[in-house]
Chains A and B, each alone.
Chain A
Amino acid sequence: MTTELPADIQSSSSEIQTDKPSSNWLPPGLALQKVDERIMTLNVGPQHPGSGHMRLIVQIDGDYIVACDPDPGYVHRGEEKMAEYRNYITNIPHLERPVIHDSCNMLYPYVLGVEELLGIEVPERAKYVRVIAAELNRCIYIMYWLAIYGIFLGHSTMFMWPTGDRELLIDLMEKMTGARVTHSHFIPGGVRNDLPANFEEVCLRQVNYFEKRIKEYAAVFYDNPILISRTQNTGVLSRQDAIRLGVTGSVLRASGIDFDVRKKEPYDVYDELDIQSIVMTEGDAYARSKIPWLDMMDSCNIIRQALQKMPKSGSVRVKLKPNPKGKGLDTVYKRVESGRGSLGCYIVSDGKPEPYRLKLSVPSFRNLIALPYLLKGEKLGNMPSVYWSLNYWPVEADR
């Protein structure tokens, strides 16, 4: 396979880039550029209802977007550097911060990596508990994402319904872990606490109701003719471009590529569960927005299977020695399927209690790369729908 970018992507990338770094280099958007008088430059964000914690420098000609230059980095927190100064256990609470709605999945690759570094085998019951928590968190994240997608399209009911129904699962997570959003539940060696009494029954009931409820969204949102006319055939990402730009998660699966880490590289007990991992071939904003919704139903299925197959009793945690250390110079890379796509964590250990280097490979940043190519030539009205359909979370991209 050739590694060259398609012709249109090449040309647009050369237009977007500002002058190369020199003595009078200015940050993007501030540099003086020779532009056509017809072209208006809009700074969408960071203080804009439709931008999130980032800035999009959009150049428009009439109603058409000529170029779009995303400028992330407004919420950079130095998670990776911070991890080098904390030991393996105290890294847990701050590593889940980039996406607090998806905190279990955010910690998952780190915890798996540390377990491999230490050479721990996790109890069977803990693996199932982790899968249940991860799938619940995926739903919580997607509900939040869906709410914002609704308000981006001017659909206020679709903002209120998911934020309300999300509470069902948040209550469940609170019962399970003691915290509503930032759980810090996964630790190397298993999970922090065992499930509370009769959790299985409550979970099954809540999840069944939740699934029934999200199916109702079709009537008001996904089958809405105005929504379909607005998002179909907009921001189309072809199969080839999806591979070359390196997008992941629902964006990749919307372009017709069946890639799901849970299926391709199963971790914990995902190989024993039946995962559907929906694939669509359209590659437009509508398909990209529909896949997370179908993923939630898939997650409900997985939770039900896991509740059935889970050992009813047993340990959920291997006790570690205080201040665990890696065995000499060692590296490990683990990835999981988070709510947004493949999330990787690369840990370098030099035998000390702290990681020598920790690197997060986040799906949001990988999906954001596709934004300038998708928005080029689109109408300004399509900007919010295409932007948010990329399943992008600004805080995660900045780390």
Chain B
Amino acid sequence: MSVIAPKFKLSGFIQSLLDNIFWILLLFVLIGLPAVFIILIVMPMPVLDGELLTPFLALSYLANPTRILPVIHAFMTTDIFRVMAFPGFGFAALLAASVIFAERKMMAKLQLRVGPFYCGKFEGILQLMGDGLKLISKEIIIPAKADKPIFWAAPVLFVATAAAFVALIPVAPGWVVADIDLGLLAVFAVIGFFPIITILSAWSANSKYPFIGGIRALFQMVSFEIPLILSLLGVVMVTGTLNLSEITASQSNFPWIIFLPIGAIVFFITMLAELERIPFDLPEAESEIVAGWLTELSGMLYGLVQLGSYLKLYAFAALFVVLFLGGWNGPMIIPAIPEQILTEGIEMGPITLTVDGLQSLFGNTITQEMLNGTFWFVLKTAGVIFFIILPRGVFPRVRVDILLNLGWTKLIGLCFINIFIALGLLYAGVLGPGGLQ
């Protein structure tokens, strides 16, 4: 029984789940099935394997594993699946959504309150869906003096750029949307777009507070990009590659945070600044400049910017994991899929169920390495995100001059120390050929 929800009952929860399933099934049977049948009857049916496809046969295909598994497998090997679903946008958006919920719950625990509670019966788990629906249903108000095309385009560009960032992250061995040799350079290029989009959005609103916020964001992002790039040079020097998959693969024994802790710390601090998170949320300082560059955005335009910023949060945390914490590397804890099921089929009493496509699906695409790599990657990313969220409950906001002083003097100095450490490790033979790694 939950402490903060003393009236919560497991039986009630299960009952509500069953209720939902019942209504979904009922609606499907009453509306979905007739609709499918009408479509199938109206459509001229093709002849497959010398057999005319009747509506009944077509429906039975959907439930036949032997028929549907190769289709799924074929779909999973396409680029569109990679971009839309697994290592790309869908996976990242799911993680980003859970980050928002986790953040709200965590802040609530830290601040001795409850947080989202009522929406979705169980600890407010559907709160995010409610917030999204609210944002979609809100009217979008555009300031009269705004430069409308740019004002509309900026939030969309923001999400697109964040999604492009996500595309460069390798999640599991071989599972990356864009596996390019200059991956880290591409990351820097994508990060370089954010200040431009921010200032475009801020300037096009033609309003005072967004303008100040945009200028602040520009200052902050541009001045922290230099320590950001310099702090990653150490990793590039010891690995000798810019390919993110190869950098991850090089950490099979030790993650680079053990050898280059200063670089990791500097990267973490610059990451907070790039993400506009507390204590570096100056561009959105509500007591000074209302909501900074987001002031004039309303409805789903605001929602898009929030989605983009949480995608960005996930992507930065994932980059930290890939570069310093060893990415997908970790002990093999996901059990292998039993060979017997793949080759001989599933024995259930007197019946043996044999599925043809199963072996190729689990042998080539959803392998044990992929599942294990994804598990470790998600676990490490969640850990990094926890530490990104934590300062919000502990620190107040810094001031612009303190922020710039930190970025231009202290962090750049630390970056050079980090580079010298990397050089020292290479020359001393600790790393590189014949070394530890």
- Residues of A whose CB lies within 8 Å of any CB of B are 40, 42, 48-50, 63, 150-161, 164, 220-221, 224, 226-227, 229-230, 379-384
**With contact pairs A226-B398, A230-B398 given, residues A154 and B287 touching in the complex (Cβ less than 8 Å):** yes
Q: Enumerate the 4 nearest inter-chain pairs by beta-carbon distance, A residue then B residue, closest first.
A: A154-B397, A50-B287, A160-B111, A155-B396
- Cβ of B392: which chain A residues have Cβ within 8 Å of it? 156
Indicate if B290 sits at the interface (CB-CB under 8 A). yes
Q: Are B394 and A157 in contact (CB under 8 A)?
A: yes
Choose from A40, A63, A154, A161 the contact partner of B285 (Cβ within 8 Å). A154
Choose from A152, A154, A157 the contact partner of B111 (Cβ within 8 Å). A157
Q: Are A226 and B279 in contact (CB under 8 A)?
A: yes
Count how many chain B residues have C-beta atoms less than 8 Å from C-beta atoms of the other chain.
29
A221 to chain B: closest residue by CB: B396
Q: How does the 8 Å CB contact mask read for B391-417 relative to A, with 1 for contact and 0 for none?
A: 011111111111000000000000000
In the assembly, what is the distance between CA of A382 and CA of B281, in Å? 15
Choose from B111, B290, B398 the contact partner of A156 (Cβ within 8 Å). B111
Q: Are A227 and B111 in contact (CB under 8 A)?
A: no
- Could you show 29 A-B contacts with beta carbons less than 8 Å apart? A40-B208, A42-B209, A48-B290, A49-B287, A63-B401, A151-B287, A154-B286, A154-B397, A155-B395, A155-B396, A156-B392, A157-B111, A157-B394, A160-B111, A221-B396, A224-B395, A224-B396, A226-B279, A227-B396, A229-B398, A230-B397, A230-B399, A379-B401, A380-B212, A380-B289, A381-B399, A381-B401, A383-B288, A384-B288
Closest CB of chain B to A260's CB: distance in Å? 29
Additional 13 contacts, C-beta under 8 A, given A49-B290, A164-B113, A380-B289 = A42-B208, A49-B287, A50-B288, A154-B281, A154-B286, A155-B395, A155-B397, A157-B394, A224-B395, A379-B400, A381-B285, A381-B400, A383-B288
Closest CB of chain A to B274's CB: distance in Å? 18
Q: How does the 8 Å CB contact mask read for B64-105 relative to A, with 1 for contact and 0 for none?
A: 000000000000000000000000000000000000000000
In the assembly, what is the distance between CA of A202 and CA of B272, in Å? 46
- Residues of B whose CB lies within 8 Å of any CB of A are 107, 110-113, 208-209, 212, 278-279, 281-282, 285-290, 392-402
Choose from B286, B396, B397 the contact partner of A49 (Cβ within 8 Å). B286
Choose from A42, A154, A380 the contact partner of B396 (Cβ within 8 Å). A154
In the assembly, what is the distance between CA of A220 and CA of B396, in Å? 10
- Cβ of B107: which chain A residues have Cβ within 8 Å of it? 156
Choose from B208, B209, B393 the contact partner of A157 (Cβ within 8 Å). B393
**With contact pairs A49-B286, A381-B288, A383-B288 given, residues A226 and B395 touching in the complex (Cβ less than 8 Å):** yes
In the assembly, what is the distance between CA of A12 and CA of B233, in Å? 51
Closest CB of chain A to B113's CB: distance in Å? 6
- Cβ of B400: which chain A residues have Cβ within 8 Å of it? 63, 379, 381
- Cβ of B290: which chain A residues have Cβ within 8 Å of it? 48-49
Q: Are A156 and B393 in contact (CB under 8 A)?
A: yes
Interface centre among A150, A380, A381, A383 (most CB of B within 10 A): A381
Choose from B112, B397, B401, B402 the contact partner of A160 (Cβ within 8 Å). B112
Closest CB of chain B to A331's CB: distance in Å? 43
Closest CB of chain A to B398's CB: distance in Å? 6
- Cβ of B395: which chain A residues have Cβ within 8 Å of it? 155, 224, 226
Q: Are A161 and B112 in contact (CB under 8 A)?
A: yes
- Cβ of B208: which chain A residues have Cβ within 8 Å of it? 40, 42
- Cβ of B281: which chain A residues have Cβ within 8 Å of it? 154
Q: Are B112 and A164 in contact (CB under 8 A)?
A: yes
In the assembly, what is the distance between CA of A154 and CA of B289, in Å? 12
Q: Are A384 and B287 in contact (CB under 8 A)?
A: yes
**With contact pairs A48-B290, A154-B285, A156-B392 given, residues A379 and B111 touching in the complex (Cβ less than 8 Å):** no
In the assembly, what is the distance between CA of A42 and CA of B209, in Å? 8
In the assembly, what is the distance between CA of A71 and CA of B111, in Å? 34
A63 to chain B: closest residue by CB: B400
- Cβ of A383: which chain B residues have Cβ within 8 Å of it? 288
